[in-house]
Amino acid sequence: MSIITMKFGGTSVGSPEAISNLVQIVREARDAGDQVVVIVSAMAGTTDALLRSITFAREGNRWSYRELSDKLRDKHEDAINFLMDASPERESIINEIRRLLDQHHDLCDAIAILGDATPRAIDHAVTFGERMSSAMISAVLSAHGVPAQAFDAGQLLVTDDVHQNATPQWDATRANITERLIPQIEKGVVPVITGFIGATPDGVYTTLGRGGSDYSAAIFAAYVNSDQFIVWTDVDGVMTTDPRIDKRARVLSKVSYQEVGEMAFYGAKVLHPKTVQPIVNRGIPIWVRNTFNPTHPGTLISHDSDDTGTVIKAVTAVRQVSLLTVSGAGMLGVPGIAGRSFLATAGAGANILMISQASSEQSFCFSVLQHQAPQVKAAVEAELAEEIQQNNVDGVHIRDDVSIVTVIGAGMRGIPGVAGRVFTRMGEQGANVLAIAQGSSECSISFVVEESIVRDAVIGLHDLALEAV
């Protein structure tokens, strides 16, 4: 008997049909003798709707958030009525959903009075999405003969108080899971846990950032000692590239933790970038599978990387990026300028996507998401004010409308000429490369191109990933 942790994303709980598939999937695993732990996202579109309701509340637009709340109620009730026969249990889950939405409505009223919403209030408001879906899914599973119990991760997953991007506190979280969750699993109950949300040690709700349910699920998978972690989604697996950019994209059967980490960081939407962190040391295999096509085997993510016969396995792109260049003749040999610039960037709340420096040491550049570039420029210039005043540093130059293209493949390690092939292909495409970086793991090469040619660049490089298959 093994423990399988399953995460169902927004579309996988987003309609009565999807939830029927979920029930079938959980039931089959239990029939095969496995214990199942379920983590759910909010029904597709719910988190966005809850965020819109906050905006309406802030603007004092009471009618609009009322309407949104009614729509959310209908969406959940329709699914419940479709999936459960009339019964006291059905009445009780419908009441539970109404109770949660009433709380959400009260919160919106409070925000409307204040005319302002703190990050703490926003986090509280979005928790209702996952809290409704876990209550609903647990009731539906029970109605179909699977003993299930809803869990609010606000009582399990302890985090710091950085709202909207909280970091888990591992020891406290593990202790809660061991104490409250594992005994239920041992009794044969299927816990249905809210993804995405946690709480501070004082019990104030936090969230792990958009798309964070994958990450929550990986934490639960690790601490319940899962034998397997399955991410159920709406595509067949991890793909060689975004099929909206290149229709030839195909599903990879096996990728390594490291490869998938690079893919997620560099724009592939399939998993939250932090998902592999809690899993990798324990070596728990992750499967990415399609709720709507459950006979497809999906992608296996583990320590091993599949030899696809191509050096490049996947191509990704991060759009709407800015390239920031710090330059100045007086920087040569002056230690600490890069370090201080990167600290100032972090202080401005921006994540650095890529760094590159030429050996002349007279300039270096790095990229951040475009909407963060102005505040990063201001923060770095403030940090280097003295050097700028002394003319040792010229200042920070921003180039907008660029993208980062990344080619990924563990097989490129130690193989000469990969970068050569990549950039020859870019030359053939007429793509001007603005900056280049290679991770020291040699599992990816990233470079910056103008936004206008990113599609051609991705398609051209994707040829290399398809060639030898």
CB closer to ligand ASP out of 41 and 345: 41
For residues 103 and 35, the answer to whether their CB atoms sit within 8 Å is no
Minimum Å gap between C-beta 164 and Mg ion is 16
Using CB under 6 A as the criterion, what x/- string covers residues 213-252 for binding ligand ASP? x---------------------------------------
Q: Which of 14, 211, 237, 298 binds Mg ion (CB under 5 A)?
A: 211
Of positions 210, 421, 425, 455, contacts ligand ASP by CB under 6 A = 210
Instruction: Name the nearest CA neighbour of 399 among 324, 295, 464, 333.
Output: 324
Phi–psi pair at 453, nearest 5 degrees:
-110, 10
Task: For 388-419, give one letter per residue: b (16+ CB within 10 A) or e.
Answer: beeebbbebeebeebbbbbbbbbbbeeeeebe
Stretch binding ligand ASP (CB under 6 A), from 51-59, 83-91, 154-162, 208-216: 208-216
Q: How far is the CB of 392 from ligand ASP (least distance, A)?
A: 44
Taken as a whole, the chain contains a residue count of: 469
Is residue 129 close enough to count as binding ligand ASP by CB under 6 A?
yes
Distance CA(121)–CA(115), nearest Å, equals 12
Residues 3-32 that bind ligand ASP (CB under 6 A): 9-10
Q: Among Mg ion, ligand ASP, none, what binds residue 226 when CB lies within 5 to 8 Å by partner kind?
A: none
Distance CA 219, CA 108 (A): 31
Q: Which residue's entry shows tokens 């102005």?
A: 374
Token representation of residue 172: 């406290």
Asked if residue 212 binds ligand ASP (CB under 6 A), the reply is yes
Nearer to Mg ion, 276 or 344 (CB): 276
Of 204-212, 249-257, 386-394, 442-450: span binding Mg ion (CB under 5 A): 204-212
Ranges assigned E (strand) in 268-383: 286-290, 299-302, 314-327, 354-357, 363-369
Residue 402: in which H helix or E strand, if any? strand 395-408
**Residues 41-80 as x/- pattern, contact with ligand ASP by CB under 6 A:** xx----x---------------------------------
Q: Which residues bind Mg ion (CB under 5 A)?
A: 9, 211
Q: Which residues bind ligand ASP (CB under 6 A)?
A: 9-10, 41-42, 47, 129, 195-196, 210-213
